[in-house]
Structure 1
Amino acid sequence: MQQTSTQFRHTMTKNQKWVMASTAAGFSLENMDIMFLSFALAPIIAELHISSTAAGWIGSITNLGMLAGGAIFGLVGDRIGRVKTFTYTIFIFAFATAAMFFAHSLSMIYTMRFLAGIGAGGEYGVGIALIAENFRPSQLGRLTSVAAIGGQVGAIFAAVMAAYIIPAFGWNALFLLGIIPVVLTFFIRRHVHESSEFITAHAHAVETHEKIAVSRLFATPALALQTLGLMVMTIVQIAGYFGLMNWLPSIVQKQQGLSVSGSSLWMVATIIGMSIGMMVFGTIMDNLGPRWAFGIFLLGSASVMFAILMVKSAVALILAGALIGFFSNGMFGGYGAVISRLYPTEIRSTANSIIMNVGRAIGGFSSVVIGLLMDHYTLAVTMGCLSALYIISFLVMEALPGMRKLAH
């Protein structure tokens, strides 16, 4: 009999509850940090008198830091343990974010954002590995989605804080809130413990002198194809998210001549759509398997891209944003669940970190690409290109043998 969510919460052990609370909180605070930059970008440009290109590089450098952090701390997590590494990554992005308070030059901003990216990029793979090793495979779709929803909570918190702090104290003061995650590390080190699965796998790796390296992800032609295929899927995932969230309101306002009086209402509606999508995706994945879940949401994303062409009012824009958010970002938690099941315990942290952060580093440039498309082509062409990306991701997913082997 299928467990209800209430029954499931009551059957979790104390350590499992702490794992979920810690990872969801960690992802929430990480996303809070990323969203701080979105809200502070305009005042940074105005204060430092920098070009849009120079400002755009702030986000790109953050994404490159995530890729570096994923490579470094993914391996560290597999070698010394998930819990210690998780706290180290939180310390790095917390202090680098708070240090933005003292950043009054572009070079200082670039440096701090790269360091913050290192911490945030390292946190993801370790957090997902913690979840995967403390719960059954049949539960991972919902649980990684719950952790991903934590990120959306962080986005809402960032929006509220930015609205109050930036006008009153300036953009630098907003980043001081980045020190909050340090408190989380105390509770993690005190209450979260390594799983028996990791302890056993780590002991075996040490005993047999098994190599823990990024090259393990490409050890055979079949494994290399699987890794590259998953990278393509995460690139599309991040490209769709960053591209749409950065451009969607301005695209419609410009092309349809609309104004959105409540931009915060639009953002909240979109985040709610994303969160509902994540829970629906996770439930489908755990009950029908990842192929069904990704198939439905990838084809759904390809279809709803064109909904924006029919928007004729501010209310319709809000609903369209929620619908697009439901499909395009509903899948986010599923990648960690799939990667965790396709790669062995001893390189699970590395696999999650590298694959997702390659997606972030490359997919994060979608904002620039969409801007170029908007400059030279119609809105229909731009949405068609985004739709084509989701079709490509669907075809790649169908071609991966590992995905066909994963049962619910």
Structure 2
Amino acid sequence: MTTSVADGGAAQTTNAQLVARLERLPVTRRLLLIRVIVGSATFFDAYTVLAIAFAMPQLVDEWNLSSSQVGLILSAGYLGQLVGALVFGWLAERIGRLHTLLITIVLFVAMDIACLFAWNGTSMMIFRFVQGIGTGGEVPVASAYINEFIGARKRGRFFLLYEVIFPAGLMFAGIAAYFLVPVYGWKALFIVGIVPSLLAIPLRWLMPESPRWLASKGRLEEAETVIRKLEDDAGRQNLPLPEPVLRPVDPKATARSDWRELFKGIYLKRTLMIWVLWVCVYMVNNGLVTWLPTLYKKVFGLPLETSLAYGWITSGVGVVASVICALLIDRVGRKRWYAVAFLVATVPLLTLTALGATTALQVVVFATAAYAILQTISFSLYLYSAELYPTRLRAVGTGFGSAWLRAGSSAGPLVVGWVVADLGIRYVFTAFAAVALLGGLVTTVFAIETKGRVLEELSP
């Protein structure tokens, strides 16, 4: 039921009180459960995104695919994700975080089943595009949802320990491929992705709606109910519950969401900056991780098992780097971490250019180093994006930003395919070094620091 409040000042005061109570909450078992449930869906979202990369070496032989066709199939899913990020980010502001998440999961699981019946490159490309619409909507909406439960001091670590599940899902795709594809074929990868994803659907009913979203829609009684449950949890678990610190909340906090506000006032520079960061980091990382297994097999002539194992090594090192980032980013800060990571990643990429990328070992060592460094940015940009916008814009702003993630992700495999075919593999790493350098410069000049600051203070 929507609470009608005639006095706008009363609504503003009530919203400020709800935010203050949220900010002082400890991390209870219920919040950990929310992170696990959302994380289970995100894990298999990530698995689904990368499964096609590990299926591709076998599909190239089975369907006689050219390098350009491989690039189109790999990019189709990311183009679908672009559409999904835009559509579902907008929808989450209208109907809520939980209802939107449920729709996205049903869609990407349904298309995972459809991929089992793909009969050529064109059919796989279509199924992957539609599947991408679901996967593209799930992560940005889930990111907004998780962020809205946690106070400023704990937000970075709590959220990123959830977000680590995404690179873990990518790594799991490599493990599954190594053991399943040589024995059972590429379809086994898509079968694995079905059952766990289906199990995540009924779990959605165990979670509350975001109290910040409820309050922003004037549904103050419902927001109060959610926060009271979280406070009761803290009491039952004997966790400290300090007095809430009331901070002024801008009257616009309960205003109607309007996506055009992303391009006005303080949000214009933030929007353009985060778009560039999304494009740069995902163009490089997805260009690398989706193509590497195929490059090992086609360019260096390695056996399928070895190609898949090398791809898994890259994903695994990326997970380790992500965990390190999750534990340290609240100390280091977002801006400083991103600027340094972008610039340092150019070193192994330029090293590969200088060496000529003439052996698979060179690529494994230096491409993995670059990927791992940049993975600390790519997996945590959802945190940073959600911090840049107020509740009324958080899902749509994160969705718009991550839509550029999809644009960069779709461009990366295409760039690799074209450059390898026309110029040779070494120049792929030259192009990616230039993109990483651009990301570092934009971060240094335009990014803002968000660590330790309350969401409502950062974004009025």
Question: If the TM-score is normalised by the length of the shorter chain, which range does it land in?
Answer: 0.7 to 0.9
- From 371, 388, 394, the equivalent of 1:342 is 388
After TM superposition, list the pairs within 5 Å mapping 1:193-208 onto structure 2: 193-203=208-218
Match of 1:15 among 20, 30, 34: 30
CA distance in structure 1 between the partners assigned to 2:219 and 2:343 by the alignment: 42
Q: CA 1:166 to 1:304, structure 2 compared with 1: closer, same or farther past 3 Å?
A: closer
The whole-number CA distance in structure 2 between the counterparts of 1:316 and 1:109 is 32
CA distance in 1, matches of 2:48, 2:293: 22
Partner of 2:202: 186
On the 8 A contact 1:141/1:281 being kept in 2, the answer is no
Q: Is the 8 A contact 2:293 2:308 kept in 1?
A: no
Unaligned runs of 5+ in 2: 1-25, 221-250, 454-460
In the alignment, the residues of structure 1 paired with residue 64 and residue 379 of structure 2 have an alpha-carbon distance, to the nearest angstrom, of 38
Deviations 1:246-305 (A, max 9, x none): 4557778999x7968843443333223212222332334211321111122112112232
Counterpart of 1:157 in structure 2 is 172
**RMSD value, Cα:** 3.1
1:238 is matched with which residue: 282, 289, 292?
Answer: 282
What secondary structure, in the 3-state scheme, does the structure 1 residue paired with 2:218 have? helix
- In the alignment, residue 117 of structure 1 is paired with which amino acid? G
Q: Who is 2:438 aligned against?
A: 392
AA matched with 2:89: G
Instruction: Determine if contact 2:177/2:308 at 8 Å carries over to the other structure.
Output: no
1:356 aligned residue (392, 402, 411) = 402
Q: Percent identity?
A: 21
Farther off after superposition, 207-216 or 356-365: 207-216
Query: Which letter does structure 2 place at the counterpart of 1:28?
Result: F
Distance 1:295 1:187, change over 3 A: same
Change (3 A) 1:358 1:152: same
Q: Is the 8 A contact 2:152 2:452 kept in 1?
A: no
Counterpart-to-counterpart distance in 2, 1:379 and 1:158 = 25
Please state which structure has a larger fraction of its residues in helix. Answer: 1
Distance 1:405 1:318 in 2: 35
Mark the CA change 1:380 to 1:154 in structure 2 (over 3 Å): closer, same or farther: closer
Name the stretch that deviates more: 12-21 or 380-389. Answer: 380-389
Map residues 164-183 of structure 1 onto 2, 5 A cutoff: 164-180=179-195, 181-183=197-199
1:285 pairs, out of 324, 329, 350, with 329
Q: Which residue of 1 aligns with 2:44?
A: 29
Which amino acid counterpart does residue 324 of structure 1 have in structure 2? A
Alpha-carbon deviation of 1:348? 0.9
| 1:4-403 equivalences in 2 (<5 Å) | 12-180=27-195, 181-190=197-206, 192-203=207-218, 210-220=255-265, 222-247=266-291, 262-308=306-352, 309=354, 318-375=364-421, 377=423, 381-400=427-446, 403=448
* Inter-partner Cα distance in structure 1 for 2:183 and 2:70: 23
Task: Decide whether the 8 Å contact of 1:305 with 1:383 is kept in 2.
Answer: yes
- 1:45 Cα deviation (Å)? 3.8
- The TM-score, its normalising length taken from structure 2, stands at 0.76
Aligned mates of 1:50, 1:375 — CA distance in 2: 14
Contact conserved, 1:15 with 1:193, CA < 8 A, in 2? no
State whether residues 284 and 292 of structure 1, in contact with CA within 8 Å, keep that contact through their aligned partners in structure 2.
no
Partner amino acid for 1:179? I
Q: Which runs of 5+ in 1 are unaligned?
A: 1-10
Q: How many residues align?
A: 393
What do residues 122-155 of structure 1 show as CA deviations (whole Å, max 9, x unaligned)?
Answer: 0011110122111123333333432332123323
Q: Distance in 2 between matches of 1:382 and 1:169?
A: 33
Q: Are the aligned partners of 2:76 and 2:410 in contact in 1 as well (CA < 8 Å)?
A: no
SS in 1 for 2:257: coil
Q: Is the 8 A contact 2:345 2:370 kept in 1?
A: yes
